[in-house]
Amino acid sequence: MRTLEELQSDLGYRFNDPKLLTKALTHSSHAHESVGEMEDNEQLEFLGDAVLGFLVSDFLFRAHPGLNEGQLSKLKGFFVSAANLVKFAEQLALGDYLHLGRGEEKTGGRAKQALLVDAFEAILGAIYLDGGIAQAHALMSRFFEAQIEDVGDPSVQLADFKTALQEVIQTRQLGRADYVVTSETGPDHEKIFAVDVMIEGRPVARGLGLTKKAAEQAAAREALERYDRTHI
């Protein structure tokens, strides 16, 4: 298991009270099996979920003042969804840090989306308690601001990230990138599109946009960034 020093380095935040971070990583299955009293991360996850909702709303409000309430609500729903949050949890390798009970350990709990997302939200709640809203905002900015700013940004639609991605994956002999619309929400005049970019038959990134073209470019941009980080 990795050390909490490594995780704090990846988070860019050092806890004044390290016990909060330990609690954020403790699943109820482990707490129930432990001798003596041990708190699980459920309360911190509840708090972190609320902090996350507020910060995403704030980011969206400031980045896209021209969007209406319905559009903002749909975008918020996507950004705080488990499908979106799990990739941030995976970037932090949270599965390596979780404290799990024997049953969860045996059934692959370290890779379960629900447990990873709960831990991510619990860490956000812990940072809020330990350092305040400014520190929570700083962490979320790293994960969300670029993604949120891409939605409806003309430069994302005009930039040719799709061609750049294709050049990269051809160099790596990975075939080609395919783009699949995974959802369309809202009425015809204000739809929000979600698009997955598929490489070798598996989804590697998702983009959101007010047009299909913008969503495809956003997905390609996210895939390029992921390639830089992990080498697809």
Q: Tell me the fold of 4-150.
A: Ribonuclease iii, N-terminal Endonuclease Domain; Chain A (1.10.1520)
Supply angle C-alpha 6, 126, 19, rounded to 5: 65
Look at residue 130 in the predicted model and tell me its pLDDT.
Answer: 97
Look at residue 56 in the predicted model and tell me its pLDDT.
Answer: 93
Active site annotation includes 49 = yes
Task: Please tell me the pTM assigned to this model.
Answer: 0.69
Identified catalytic residue from 40, 49, 104, 216: 49
Q: What is d(CA 38, CA 8) in angstroms, rounded to the nearest whole number?
A: 22
Do 178 and 202 form a contact (C-beta atoms < 8 A)?
A: no
Look at residue 95 in the predicted model and tell me its pLDDT.
Answer: 92
Amino acid at 19: K
Look at residue 157 in the predicted model and tell me its pLDDT.
Answer: 42
- For the domain spanning 154-230, the CATH number is 3.30.160.20
Supply angle C-alpha 217, 220, 223, rounded to 5: 155
pLDDT digits (tens, 9 = 90+) for 100-115: 988 888 888 888 989 9
Q: What residue ranges do the domains of the chain occupy?
A: 4-150, 154-230
Active site annotation includes 184 = no
Identified catalytic residue from 45, 104, 118, 121: 121
Q: Give the sheet arrangement for strand 177-185, strand by strand.
A: 177-185, 192-199, 202-209
Q: Which residues of the chain have pLDDT under 50?
A: 154, 156-158, 232
Do 226 and 199 form a contact (C-beta atoms < 8 A)?
A: no
Look at residue 154 in the predicted model and tell me its pLDDT.
Answer: 46
Look at residue 85 in the predicted model and tell me its pLDDT.
Answer: 87
